[in-house]
Amino acid sequence: MTLPPTDPARITVLLAICNGGTALAPQLDSYLQQSLKPTQILASDDGSQDGSQARFDAFAQRATAVGIICQRVTGPQRCGTANFLNLLALADPASDYLALSDQDDIWLPEKLAAATQLLAPQTDTPALLGSRSWEWDSARDQRKLSREVPPPHDFCHALVQNFAGGNTMVLNRAALHLVQRALHRMTDAAVHDWWLYQLISGAGGTVILDREPQLLYRQHADNQIGANSNLRSKFRRLGAMLNGTYRHWNDLNIAALEPNMDLLTPASRDILARFIRDRQAPLTARLAMLRQTRLHRKGALNQASLWLAAVLNKL
């Protein structure tokens, strides 16, 4: 049984760094501008060669002066998902809330306050929060509101599509304990945030989407996934589904979920078992599986692409 959140809440920020460049400093500064400041910041640096380590260390001195504990560890040297999984494994289990952070966004001042307020009613139940964001072209200083992924946010959706960017996600303590238990049994995932959604929803946890944007999501060529708000990005994702990338992601997700079957609800276990059994079965079995499990992606084009993948044996 988890302990109730303390007052004030202990908030840990998990920051993945890999050659963050000059964009790192504005993100770090935005932590200090929070109306509800974090208690500690744990950064995992994946061998940066551009001065990012020194930038973080200089920031840590300023943050420590205002009572924020900062620590930098060496990451797994693979950037992206592996770096975040490393952070989740190392996170302080006594944290009341855990906020994931990319290295080049800018948090709006109420991000942590809004997240903890929405998560506060969930004490013993694992809970995951994501929010919309401002997709930000920093060169032109132009913002566009990210798309809203409508409810329900459940395992039938999580198994085939994510619901929010990992850079917006905040977990409560019960969710962190669930995640750390699962991490010992797996080695990789397609994308860390998608896996968090799958695990927490599959375990019967609560998934919350804050409709208010809480950060500036910097758009650039090196985004691991990037926004999904225009036709070009949608066709890029469709291409990933049809060229076998999506099937590979499903392979990785299944490999991460299977060892943790006992953490899932009976209904989620049944859905996962059916997906594993029939996703590459004969066509009629694949289509029956989608229809009977009610696996779905949000949006007409995304849903159509899921059925197309099933027809083409790309699940």
What is the structure's pLDDT at 140?
A: 87
Query: What does the alpha-carbon distance between residue 228 and residue 146 come to, in Å, rounded to a whole number?
Result: 8
**Are residues 262 and 145 both part of a single domain?**
no
Question: Residues in the chain, how many?
Answer: 315
**Are residues 69 and 141 both part of a single domain?**
yes
What is the structure's pLDDT at 232?
A: 64
What is the structure's pLDDT at 13?
A: 98
Tokens of 287: 């289509």
- Asked whether residue 2 is domain-assigned, the answer is no
State how many domains the chain has.
2
Give a three-class secondary structure readout of the chain: CCCCCCCCCCEEEEEEECCCHHHHHHHHHHHHCCCCCCCEEEEEECCCCCCHHHHHHHHHHHHHHCCCEEEEEECCCCCHHHHHHHHHHHCCCCCCEEEEECCCCEECCCHHHHHHHHHCCCCCCCEEEEECCEEEECCCCEEEECCCCCCCCCHHHHCCCCCCCHHHCEEEHHHHHHHHHHHCCCCCCCCHHHHHHHHHHHCCCEEEEECCCCEEEECCCCCCCCCCCCHHHHHHHHHHHHCCHHHHHHHHHHHHHHHHHHHCCHHHHHHHHHHHHHCCCCHHHHHHHHHHHCCCCCCHHHHHHHHHHHHCCCC
Please say which residue of 190, 218, 246 terminates a domain: 218
Alpha-carbon Rg for the chain, nearest whole angstrom, is 19
**Are residues 210 and 306 both part of a single domain?**
no
What average pLDDT values come out for the chain (315 residues) when binned by 10 residues? 60 97 96 98 95 97 96 90 96 98 97 98 96 91 92 97 97 98 95 98 98 91 51 68 89 97 98 98 98 96 94 95
Question: Whose structure tokens read 């948090």?
Answer: 107
**Are residues 200 and 247 both part of a single domain?**
no
What is the structure's pLDDT at 78?
A: 82
Neighbouring CB atoms inside 10 A of 82's CB total 19
**Are residues 205 and 239 both part of a single domain?**
no
Query: What does the alpha-carbon distance between residue 283 and residue 260 come to, in Å, rounded to a whole number?
Result: 28
Q: What is the CATH number of the domain that holds 138?
A: 3.90.550.10
pTM of the model: 0.92
What is the structure's pLDDT at 230?
A: 55
Domain that holds residue 26: 11-218
**Are residues 73 and 201 both part of a single domain?**
yes
